Chain A
Amino acid sequence: MTNKLQLQELEKKFGSKTVLNKLTLEVEEGEFMVVLGPSGMGKSTLLRTVVGIEPLDGGKIIVDGEDVTRLPPHKRNIAMVFQNYALYPNMNVYKNIAFPLKMTGESRDVIDRKVNEIANTLKIADALHQSVTTLSGGQKQRVALARALVRNPKLFLLDEPLSNLDARVRYAARQELRKLQQELGHTFIYVTHDQTEAQSLADKVAVLHNGTVEQIGSYDELYERPETTWVGSFIGEYPMNIIDGSIIGREGAQIGFRPSWVNEGSDGIQLTVQLCQAAESGFFIMSTIDDKSITIRVPGRHKLGSTMKFTLRRYNVYKDNRLIEEFGK
């Protein structure tokens, strides 16, 4: 089976700033791919080049085995939901959803049937003849989604579609989106900077850093086995602790470990408690070793300023910031 989408060495510059640096990525049919990265790392630019509204400086975009790099956006048959939803304010909900079908020249009956169908699926049938300016944030997001889904495109691109919703709506919308994608079996590429979204939505997460995909895999893989120190410190509620290898006798390497990968003991690495934070799973102790801040999780509370010792139950070994060995897994 060929992949749904192949991005080959995409390059994009804005002036002297390189935004996409030989970015390569493959997405399988029916996959929910989340592209995760900090703000300003070219996530939106990536989607814009794939959909065709931003020209590339180099590279190839292949959809269903067909090279679409030089096609204008309206000939690519890729749908995109923009961050602000970009609903047409001069049209009502019905006309917004019908617009892509009109563009493909569908008959009025077909349009009517499809619009009603998708409106039922997304529970916005009641609002069909409302002006889009009167909708709530959640409704707007559904309308934008309906407009993208209605014409059955090859690929869906979503640019932080939930970031404009307030927290409670966002949680429900996330569940729904995932369910919808699984039911319909569409291929989704979803861009976000929010790790919880990546965690709960993605089949696979691609971590974007410096204009290229630094690592790709399930969220758990990224968490357990970050291939670079950067991914390690980016993924997770607390960044992975990175300390100099000489501390445990691995000269010339770096050691990375998660806060939970330690055992408290009477010997091992010593630290002074600078902050002790209670959580459901125990107590998070924050401190510094060689001017590097570290966080470990232990079962018991410790006083501020007291010293304690811990050993590593498990750790990853990095050389020049790349993973070379896993230990204690």
Chain B
Amino acid sequence: MQKSHNLKYIAFIIPALVYVSALSIFPAALSVYRSFLTPGGSYTFSNYSALLHYGLEKALIDTLLVSIGALILQLFLALFIAMIMVKPFKGNRIFSSLVIIPYGISTVVSAFIFSMIFSAVGGYANSFIVDLGFRPIDWVATSSSSLSVVVIADYWKNTPLVALILFSGLSGLSPSMYEAAKADGAGAFRRFFSITLPNLAPIMAIALLIRGVSEFNIFALPLVIIGYNPPLITTLIYEFYQTSSTTIYYSYAASTILLFIIMGYASIVLWKGGAKTYER
């Protein structure tokens, strides 16, 4: 009877479960299935081999570079911001709201702003560089400078979220811990490395998980700022999707690869992060 009691309440969750499954698991499964089909409907691996021909490897490496670059930049700066945010000083409130603003700015708008700053002609970055007496840079000329622009735009948009997460972790640390360390004669650096960092590790794992997955899916920013060149995995998928009814099967194959990468990443972070949480 207790069981049936529970079943009654599970019935309330079912609409949401069905919704999520129908619009998420089902399409993803469809993607995986269709990635092994030809437009005619017979089974094939050709979609995957075509991907290699169209530069999947480079797109993957570039995506990885952008993700790692943006993650490192975000984590580092966010930690810095969060450590300022927990300090009680005059102007703390202004500082906190100012650095949070970018998170409220729409992704497409931020992409647009950065494309304005880093355009080769009429860009504000170049006007600054010229003012300093250097030669202007054509930001979209090489793939590495293009990717750098994406990383910078991404870090601007998303650092606030990471900072907020780390801030909530930092404000949870008890001041008495620091006082005890101070009394034991630990200097500022020592306190940072042996108290702040280890205690922040679980929450950093959460931030890494949330942001890492999103980094790999980064789509609007590169599409608006640099278009399809160089392609990241998502823009490559989008380009295949748009090109023709044949290439859409390539996009299924690339989607499948992206899906497995994300699942792998998520399980590694969950497993590592989970282990850390249990150790505490």
Q: Chain A: residues with CB nearer than 8 A to chain B?
A: 13, 55-57
Contact = CB atoms under 8 A, between A and B. Distances in A.
Nearest to B8: A55
B5 interface: yes
Contacts of B23: none
Interface string B1-15: 110010000000000
Interface in B1-55: 1-2, 5
Contacts of A55: 1-2, 5
Contacts of A13: 2
Q: Binding site of A, secondary structure by majority: helix, strand, loop or mixed?
A: loop
Contacts of B1: 55-57
Interface centre among A13, A55, A56, A57 (most CB of B within 10 A): A55
Contacts of A56: 1
B4 to A, nearest CB: 8
Contacts of A57: 1-2
A57 B1 CA distance: 6
Contacts of B5: 55
A20 to B, nearest CB: 13
A42 to B, nearest CB: 15
Contacts of B2: 13, 55, 57
A16 to B, nearest CB: 12
A57 B2 CA distance: 7
A65 B15 CA distance: 41
B230 to A, nearest CB: 57
A56 B2 CA distance: 8
Nearest to B5: A55
Nearest to A13: B2
7 contacts: A13-B2, A55-B1, A55-B2, A55-B5, A56-B1, A57-B1, A57-B2
Interface in B53-106: none
A209 B77 CA distance: 62
A81 B5 CA distance: 24
Nearest to B4: A55
B1 to A, nearest CB: 5
A157 B115 CA distance: 70
A13 B2 CA distance: 9
Nearest to A11: B1
A55 B5 CA distance: 8
A282 B113 CA distance: 91
A56 B5 CA distance: 10
A57 B5 CA distance: 11
A70 to B, nearest CB: 11
Question: 3 closest Cβ contacts across the A-B interface?
Answer: A55-B5, A55-B1, A57-B1
B149 to A, nearest CB: 52
A58 B24 CA distance: 43
A83 to B, nearest CB: 22
A185 B2 CA distance: 36
A57 B3 CA distance: 10
A163 to B, nearest CB: 28
B12 to A, nearest CB: 16
A220 to B, nearest CB: 39
A123 B148 CA distance: 75
A56 to B, nearest CB: 7
A13 B5 CA distance: 13
A140 B5 CA distance: 32
A55 B2 CA distance: 7
Nearest to A57: B1
A13 B1 CA distance: 10
B256 to A, nearest CB: 44
A169 B163 CA distance: 52
A61 to B, nearest CB: 14
A11 to B, nearest CB: 10
A55 B1 CA distance: 7
A57 B4 CA distance: 11
A52 to B, nearest CB: 12
Interface in B124-173: none
A193 to B, nearest CB: 26
A56 B1 CA distance: 7
B3 to A, nearest CB: 10
A28 B127 CA distance: 93
Nearest to A14: B2
B190 to A, nearest CB: 49
A10 B2 CA distance: 14
B166 to A, nearest CB: 36
A15 to B, nearest CB: 9
B8 to A, nearest CB: 10
